[in-house]
Structure 1
Amino acid sequence: MQRRGVLQFGAAWGLVQAAPAVRAAEPPLRVGLTAVILADQAAFLARWSGYLAQQVGRPVTFVARESYQAILDLLFSDQLDAAWICGYPYVRHQAQLQLLAVPMFQGAPRYQSYLIRTLGSPLRGWQDLRGQVLAFSDPLSNSGWLVAQRQLRLAGLGIGDLRRSFFAHGHRNVVEAVSTGLAQAGCVDGYVWETMRHQGMPAVAKTEVIWRSAEFGFPPIVARAGNADAGLKPLALALQHMPQDAQGRALLKSLNLSGFTSATPALFDSIRELASSVNGGARS
């Protein structure tokens, strides 16, 4: 399969409101993310970066890569200032990261992992995957890998019991693989599946959900611990402020998000516990 490269504020928000016009001479804030699920990805990111730049007062650029590891490599080598990653790499590297903002989906900073099947398939759950082809998202994905490892074990299955498995490198790619029959089932971020359905993408209509996980902390936006760039706090505040103006609300609608909020590491405790049970402990 071809791989494709998708905070408390109050008085402090006045700092962002009072930000001067974008100072193009200043170095941009570089924000990394994996492939956005939107059909108009490039156009959307241009609108979002322009909005954030106006709030922060300096250019904001998005850098997209196809995997979480590629984004982490850029972040830890100081080639990014912030990154939108998954909760699993966050708990693995928590000591090296600081939380900036967490998206809110349907009013809460949480989401679920889904197991999906091809529409009309007889598969009913994890126990039926023996001898089937299963698509994972990314080896550092909570919903698209870590959750699946736990559920396969609970079903008495291992990777060797599948006919084949593969990483699609993106939740949208998992949905498309299942929709075309390249895989009989897939492990996918429930937010991504619901957003694809919300946007009327054809692939999602050819799949259906057969299992939903408990809720986990939503994939956060982070920076390196100790990064003192003065633009990070205004960036976090600008994200939090998005529901407060028409342009921000329109961008959130495109993302199918309610907003962004602040969070503490405790939000990701369930992912940390899951990683510990699957891997024998998450490194920090």
Structure 2
Amino acid sequence: MKRLFNCIRAAALSFAVASPAFAADQLTIGLIPAEDSQAMLESSKQVLAALEKQLGMPVKPYMATDYNGVIEALRAKKLDVAYLGPFSYAMATTVANVEAFAVAVTKKTGQSSYKSQIIVRKDSNLNSIADLKGHTFAFVDPSSASGHLFPKAGLIAAGYDPEKFFSRVMFSGSHDASILSVANKKVEAAAVADRILNAAILKEQIGKDDVKVIWSSGAIPESPMVWRKDLDPALKEKIARAFAGIKDLPWGDQGVLNGFQPTNDAAYNIVRDTASALKLDLRSMK
């Protein structure tokens, strides 16, 4: 675990003295690498600083190299809170004593859900899933909802076996990497989150006419904030209040926050149902 987190420790935030009301002397938060790892850390700093101020204790972020790294840290009780994808959360509940408690709501969408999209270069002659036969394809991470689980389910529902349909399948490691792989002709198609694609265009990582969308999923519940169930109940209450009050700050690719609204484990049953339809054993995938 030390190897996973060394690159982030130097950038960890530490301001206030720990509150004597709780056993912990700091709160540790795990962040998934949805974007480029350093970009995700940088875009989270204002939120973490606001959280630290409201809690009255140091808040330290940790970024694993993949989704499983965050799950492992939760299981080992090296993290108190984590930001997980919907699918990685469903996986985490099979091996770690965790539960979802909040999801971000942004001013841009006012929603707590998003979609998976399959993209190709706009100048290609690929216009439908059927056109992708024999071409190269990128998923994000085996534990990504919008970058793997939901698009894979969509492909199978359309009658295509991803293992046989494409000439080559790769996992890029992040949504940004998948987007750039298509834009730079490293692969011919990729599955990514709609909000991360929109953010990449706004940040001019790619041009608005570089790619086009040829498939979209239904609504996917937004990535949750989760905590270990064994945290002090008083600390949980304070954490929930602190997240709910964080507004008007940027939160990664999602845009400017309008607070975090409460959620619960049952909100992610659609993710479990999709995994079940694909005959995936979440525990074995972890």
Residue equivalent to 1:102: 103
Deviations along 1:188-210, one digit per CA (max 9) or x if unpaired, are 11121122223333366522222
In 1: Cα distance, 2:34 partner to 2:90 partner: 22
Residue equivalent to 1:32: 30
Task: Describe the SS at the equivalent of 1:101.
Answer: strand
- Give the conservation status (yes or no) of the 8 Å contact 1:31–1:80: yes
Point out where structure 2 has 5 or more consecutive residues left out of the alignment. 1-6, 8-14
- Give the conservation status (yes or no) of the 8 Å contact 2:196–2:254: no
Using the aligned pairs only, state the percent identity: 24
Mapping of residues 264-279 of structure 1, within 5 Å: 264-279=264-279
Task: Describe the SS at the equivalent of 2:183.
Answer: helix
Residue equivalent to 1:233: 237
In 1: Cα distance, 2:141 partner to 2:280 partner: 20
Q: Does 1:263 align with 2:263?
A: yes
Aligned-partner residue type, residue 237 of structure 2: K
In 2: Cα distance, 1:46 partner to 1:91 partner: 26
Q: 1:252 to 1:165 in 2, by over 3 A?
A: closer
Aligned-partner residue type, residue 169 of structure 1: G
Q: 1:43 to 1:68 in 2, by over 3 A?
A: closer
In 2: Cα distance, 1:274 partner to 1:72 partner: 20
Offset at 1:36? 5.5
RMSD: 2.6
- Give the conservation status (yes or no) of the 8 Å contact 1:116–1:207: yes
Q: Does 1:135 align with 2:133?
A: no
Offset at 1:129? 1.7
Aligned-partner residue type, residue 160 of structure 2: L
Offset at 1:155? 3.0
Task: Describe the SS at the equivalent of 2:223.
Answer: coil
Residue equivalent to 1:15: none
Q: Does 1:217 align with 2:221?
A: yes
Mapping of residues 86-235 of structure 1, within 5 Å: 86-94=85-93, 96-105=97-106, 106-158=109-161, 159-202=163-206, 205-228=209-232, 230-235=234-239
- Give the conservation status (yes or no) of the 8 Å contact 2:34–2:175: no
- Give the conservation status (yes or no) of the 8 Å contact 1:34–1:64: yes
Offset at 1:121? 1.5
Residue equivalent to 2:47: 48
TM-score by length of 1: 0.82
TM-score by length of 2: 0.81
Point out where structure 1 has 5 or more consecutive residues left out of the alignment. 6-20, 244-248
In 1: Cα distance, 2:41 partner to 2:283 partner: 35
- Give the conservation status (yes or no) of the 8 Å contact 2:275–2:282: yes
Count of aligned positions:
260
In 2: Cα distance, 1:275 partner to 1:36 partner: 20
- Give the conservation status (yes or no) of the 8 Å contact 2:51–2:246: no
Residue equivalent to 1:22: 16
